[in-house]
Amino acid sequence: MNTNGDNLNLQLKNLSVPIQPSQPSQPSQQEFINNTTNVSISILYNIVITIVITILFSILIYVGFWIKELDSNKSETVLGKYKNVKCDQESVKNKYGNNKLIQVCNAEIIYTVNEIEYIKSYKSSKIVNENQPLSVYYDPLNPDDFIIEKNTYYFGLGMIIVAFIIIGLTWLWLIITIAFKPVAPTLGINAINNNF
C-alpha cells in the first residue's frame, strides 16, 4: 500500500511542477548562411534579368527611332482631294478561311506643289467620297513621293516610350531589391525553384 501511495505522491508532485515556457529559438548559423545565399542569388538573378531586358528594349528603341524617321523626309503638307472614286465590295478570306466582304475604294489623289499637279492612284479600305479633301505629306525635294497618313511616326514614338518605361521600371525594381534585402531572399528561392 505504501508503494501505491508513494507512486501517487510522486505523480502528484510531477503534476504540480510548473511547466517552463519554451525559449524562442535563435536562428542557427546554417539558416543565416542560407538566407545570405538566397539574397545573393536573388540579386544576381535580378541583375542578369535587368541587363537582358535593357539590351532587348534598347534594340526596340533603336527600331522605334528608325520607324519614326521612316517618313521624316515628307515634311511639307498640302491639301489634296480624292477624284474618280469607285467603291466596291471585295471578298477576302479571314483567318478562319471564311469569306468576308469588305468595302474597297479605288481613287486618284490630286494635289498641287509649285503649280505642278500630281495625280496618284490610291486604294483605300475605308470609304472615301468624290472631292473629299485630305492632307498630303510630301518630300519637298521630290513632291512625287508622298503619304497621306503619318502612322509610322506615331507608331515609332509609341515603341520608344514603352521601351523607356519598361527599362526604367526594371532598373527601379533592381534598386529596390538591392536596397531592401528582405525582399530578395524570397525572390532568390523562387528563381531557384523555377529554374530547377
What is the overall mean pLDDT for the chain? 77
What is this structure's pTM? 0.55
**pLDDT of 35 higher than 80:** no
Helix axes 183-195, 29-68, angle to 10 degrees: 80
**pLDDT of 107 higher than 80:** yes
180 and 126 belong to one structural domain: no
Torsion sign (Cα): 94, 100, 103, 106: positive
Quick: pLDDT tens for 36-93. 666 677 788 888 999 999 999 999 999 999 988 888 888 888 999 988 888 887 777 7
> Residue 73 in contact with residue 153, Cβ under 8 Å?
no
Phi-psi region of 65 (alpha: psi -120 to 50; beta: other; left: phi over 0): alpha
> What CATH number does the domain containing 138 carry?
2.40.50
- What pLDDT band is residue 184 in, cutting at 50, 70 and 90? very low
39 and 134 belong to one structural domain: no
* Vertex 173 angle, CA 47 and 55, to 5°: 50
55 and 88 belong to one structural domain: no
Q: How many domains does the chain have?
A: 2
Range of the domain at 44: 33-68+155-195
Asked, for residue 145, whether it belongs to a domain, the answer is yes
Asked, for residue 17, whether it belongs to a domain, the answer is no
90 and 44 belong to one structural domain: no
Average pLDDT over residues 161-179: 91
126 and 140 belong to one structural domain: yes
* The amino acid at 173: W
84 and 138 belong to one structural domain: yes
**pLDDT of 159 higher than 90:** yes
* DSSP secondary structure letters along 15-37: HHSPPPPPPPPPPPHHHHHHHHH
Q: What percent of the chain has pLDDT over 70?
A: 72
Q: Residues 6 or more apart from 107 whose CB is under 8 A from it?
A: 82, 83, 84, 85, 86, 121, 122, 123, 124, 128
Q: How far apart are CA 46 and CA 186, in angstroms?
A: 12
85 and 60 belong to one structural domain: no
85 and 122 belong to one structural domain: yes
187 and 139 belong to one structural domain: no
52 and 90 belong to one structural domain: no
Q: How far apart are CA 93 and CA 174, in angstroms?
A: 48
137 and 169 belong to one structural domain: no
pLDDT for the residue numbered 192: 47
Q: How far apart are CA 150 and CA 62, in angstroms?
A: 19
